[in-house]
Amino acid sequence: MSDTTVTAALLIIGNEVLSGRTQDANLLHLARVLNEAGVQLREARVVPDVETEIIAAMNALRQRYDYLFTTGGIGPTHDDITAEAVARAMGRPLMENPEARRRLETHYRAAGLELTEARLRMARTPEDAILIDNPISSAPGFQVENVFVLAGVPKIMQAMLDHIKSRLRGGQRVLSHTVSCNLGEGIIAAGLGEIQRRYPQVDIGSYPRFGASGSFRVAVVLRHTDTDLLTTAAHEVATLIQHLGGEVEQITVDA
């Protein structure tokens, strides 16, 4: 494993997400897959199907992070404008990719369907883009420099992500320790703040969970790349809880 830090961002594109009509299901999956590959997802944004908005967000994110992933906007309809936006952001002409067209022709011929002009829109990519396989509906995603353009449909997005994992250069993997207890956040807040000040490099968060019978639990999650540091900080959290009269119900280590 490399000792470097490799970062990424996600740009979610689509009016349907912002309107609440569609619930995004890609962020969680992407974060998990990237962490396994040693890539830390640092930021996620949602933008509408407006070319200027997509370009502005894309240019900001691709320059700030090692990788940028986009989801949505590569279908056959008029509001699927991600390919155009990527081409303009990268300063490349938008073209019909011959290999993408071949894949679409094969797919629709086998399905007994016509490859219409609308469907041919899905063969367009910026010049010199690298295709990303789509084993489900054949319409490919694509990569341009450090930008990976994926479908918005979760099943297809996940299949595309599986295809490109080998292209990613990973770095330090973020690990986590979770300390679960029966005390409320208000009780542990001051002591937890002191521990955070002693370990500023560790990401420490507390997350309450309420049961149907009115019971509550708090999970304190600590995240860092150094397992020894995490173990030490988690032990201090457990000691704090016990000192305050609480019970440490579980300490979970996520490798």
- pLDDT of residue 2 exceeding 70: no
pLDDT for 251 equals 84
Q: Which of 45, 34, 53, 36 has the alpha carbon at shortest distance from 10?
A: 45
- 252, 177 Cβ separation under 8 angstroms: yes
Task: Work out the pLDDT band at 83, boundaries 50, 70, 90.
Answer: very high
Mean pLDDT of 18-38: 94
Q: Using a pLDDT cut of 90, give the percent of the chain over it.
A: 89
* Amino acid occupying residue 109: R
Is beta strand 248-254 parallel, antiparallel or unpaired with respect to 203-210?
unpaired
Dist. CA 116–CA 133, nearest whole Å:
21
Q: How large is the angle between the packed helices 51-64 and 82-90, nearest 10 degrees?
A: 50
* Cα-based distances in Å from 197 to 101, 121, 174, 193, 216: 56, 53, 20, 6, 26
pLDDT in tens, 201-215: 999 999 998 877 777
Q: Using a pLDDT cut of 70, give the percent of the chain over it.
A: 98
pLDDT for 180 equals 94
- pLDDT of residue 121 exceeding 70: yes
* Cα-based distances in Å from 187 to 9, 166, 191, 193, 245: 35, 46, 8, 11, 10
Q: Delineate the domains of the chain, giving CATH numbers in brackets.
A: 6-167 (3.40.980.10), 175-254 (3.30.70.600)
Mean pLDDT of 224-249: 94
Dist. CA 82–CA 88, nearest whole Å:
10
Q: Which of 154, 123, 167 has the alpha carbon at shortest distance from 141?
A: 123
Average pLDDT of the chain is: 94
Dist. CA 62–CA 60, nearest whole Å:
6
pLDDT for 1 equals 40
- pLDDT of residue 48 exceeding 60: yes
User: Helix, strand or coil for residue 40?
Assistant: strand
Q: Give the CA count within 13 Å in the CB-facing half-sphere of 118.
A: 8
Mean pLDDT of 50-68: 97
* Amino acid occupying residue 107: H
Beta partners for residue 147, in sequence order:
68, 144
pLDDT for 3 equals 62
Task: Work out the pLDDT band at 232, boundaries 50, 70, 90.
Answer: very high
Q: How large is the angle between the packed helices 26-36 and 154-164, nearest 10 degrees?
A: 20
Task: Work out the pLDDT band at 222, boundaries 50, 70, 90.
Answer: very high
